[in-house]
Amino acid sequence: MSLIVMKFGGSSVGTTERMQRVAQRIVKKKLQGHRVVVVVSAMGDTTDDLIDKSLELNDQPPAREMDMLLTTGEQISVALLSMTIHKLGHAAKSFTGWQAGIVTEALHAKARISDITPTRLFAALDDGNVAIVAGFQGMTDEGEITTLGRGGSDTTAVALAAALQADVCEIYTDVDGIYSTDPRVVKCARKLDVISYDEMLELAHLGAAVLHPRAVEYAKHNKVNLVVRSSFTQNEGTLVREEAAMEQGVVVSGIAFDKNVARISILGVEDEPGVLAKIFGALANEGIDVDIIVQSGVANGKADFSFTVSLADRGRALDVIENVRIQVPYNESTYEEGLVKVSIVGAGMVSNPGVAAKMFDVISKAGVSIKMVSTSEIKCSCVIAAEPLQDVVRALHTAYGLDTADSVFVGGPQDRR
């Protein structure tokens, strides 16, 4: 008997009707002879509603209490899903993250999984149950409830698949696989049958929302067979694995974009060793992730440089820069919003010259200025103004031969407009 981990997101269980459909799908998998572990997110907008309620009472709620609050959303989902499966005549047992043996580091709101001991899950499976686990949560060695941050249910599913040595981990969402770009923006986007861990990791880091980067990292490290598929159709999904054969003539696999971008510039910094280490060390000490860094030329012993951070971190980053001014004198600092990062990703880029040049040419012909550039062996990213983003993405998609004759449908039949 194979062991399968199935993960369903909030939209997949957002209503009782959808939850019944998910339960039927799980039972079908069990009747095919598989042992099944299910990971579930909170229903629909439950998490957002809980956050809104907390902010009505306290605009700066303690992180510990937020974790205590937000974990209830997934607990509602697992209990209701278990009840639904029982109604269909099959055994199921629900578990919180900590009951499933998920241990995390002692950090609220964005904890990392440190260990999993799935003893109770194996026992439930041996008794013929479907084991249903609340995603997004765990517990520290000291007994504190924690949450895993954005994309935490994906990470829960992949981590459990690794701990259980599952044959496959299936991530169910509102699209039937991984596409060459967001099908909401490009209706003729191409569905990928297979993609490598490295390509998927780049796409996830660069803004593709279908999988969280931490989940992909976990899958790559533990060689988990990962499949992304739709909870609304029976279509075959996309397999994420170690290597993916490159389709003939397709050098770029996907186009991602990130709207959560702010650019900060520091002007008139002394051009001497150790300056960048002090500035970016101070940002790192505050837990601020820095993405693209560009230094301009040096004039009169002074240099200018710019870097990007998430919009949410912009204020904190400016405070850090102001605080470090005593150690690293500079003339002024500025910031710019209303920006996006658009990226092309493909394993074929490493052996095909001119891929980045084509990107620059397409953006230029769209009448858009490129503000910053970052490249690696399998990706090229450009920071541009936000307004023309969709036109640029569509132009790039066409230029790299990714358009198809098919029109992608996102969501379930009841969502059709």
pLDDT at position 78, please? 97
d(CA 54, CA 275): 42
410: confidence class by pLDDT, cuts 50, 70, 90: low
The CB density around residue 4, as the number of other CB atoms within 10 Å, is 23
The reply to whether 330 sits in an annotated binding site is: no
Q: Is the dihedral of CA 343, 347, 348, 353 positive or negative?
A: positive
The reply to whether 154 sits in an annotated binding site is: no
Residues 6+ apart with CB under 8 A from 256: 181, 202, 203, 206, 207, 208, 342, 343, 345
57: confidence class by pLDDT, cuts 50, 70, 90: very high
d(CA 111, CA 104): 6
Ordered structural domains, the chain, with CATH = 3-173 (3.40.1160.10), 264-336 (3.30.70.260)
The reply to whether 173 sits in an annotated binding site is: yes
The reply to whether 47 sits in an annotated binding site is: yes
* Residue that is written with structure tokens 């092309």 in the block: 344
70: confidence class by pLDDT, cuts 50, 70, 90: very high
Mean pLDDT over 36-59 rounds to 95
What token pair was written down for 115? 């260990």
Beta-bridge partners for 194: 239
The reply to whether 315 sits in an annotated binding site is: no
413: confidence class by pLDDT, cuts 50, 70, 90: very low
pLDDT at position 246, please? 56
pLDDT tens digits for range 344-379: 998 878 778 889 999 999 999 999 999 999 988 889
pLDDT at position 238, please? 92
Q: Is 264 exposed, middle or buried (0-12, 13-18, 19+ CB in 10 A)?
A: buried
Residues 6+ apart with CB under 8 A from 347: 196, 198, 199, 244, 246, 253, 378
36: confidence class by pLDDT, cuts 50, 70, 90: very high
Q: At what angle do helices 197-205 and 213-222 cross, to 10 degrees?
A: 160
What radius of gyration do the chain's Cα atoms show? 23
Q: What is the pTM of this model?
A: 0.83
What token pair was written down for 288? 């601020």
Q: Is 201 exposed, middle or buried (0-12, 13-18, 19+ CB in 10 A)?
A: buried
pLDDT at position 270, please? 86
Q: Are 405 and 283 in contact (CB under 8 A)?
A: no
The reply to whether 74 sits in an annotated binding site is: yes
Q: Which residue has the higher pLDDT, 101 or 178?
A: 101
Amino acid of residue 364? S
244: confidence class by pLDDT, cuts 50, 70, 90: low
pLDDT at position 235, please? 84
pLDDT at position 183, please? 85
In the chain, the percentage of residues whose pLDDT exceeds 90 is 67
The reply to whether 270 sits in an annotated binding site is: no
pLDDT tens digits for range 301-333: 888 999 999 998 999 999 999 999 988 899 999
Mean pLDDT over 202-212 rounds to 81
Please tell me the least confidently modeled range out of 59-68, 89-98, 349-358.
349-358
Strand pairing report for 102-104 and 113-116 = antiparallel
The reply to whether 146 sits in an annotated binding site is: no
- Mean pLDDT, the chain, rounded, equals 90
Greatest mean pLDDT range, 116-125, 239-248, 261-270, 408-417? 116-125
pLDDT tens digits for range 145-159: 999 987 899 999 999
The reply to whether 8 sits in an annotated binding site is: yes
Kind and range of the H or E element at 168? strand 168-173
SS3 125: helix
The reply to whether 400 sits in an annotated binding site is: no
Query: Any idea what DSSP says for residue 400?
Result: T
Q: Are 240 and 178 in contact (CB under 8 A)?
A: yes
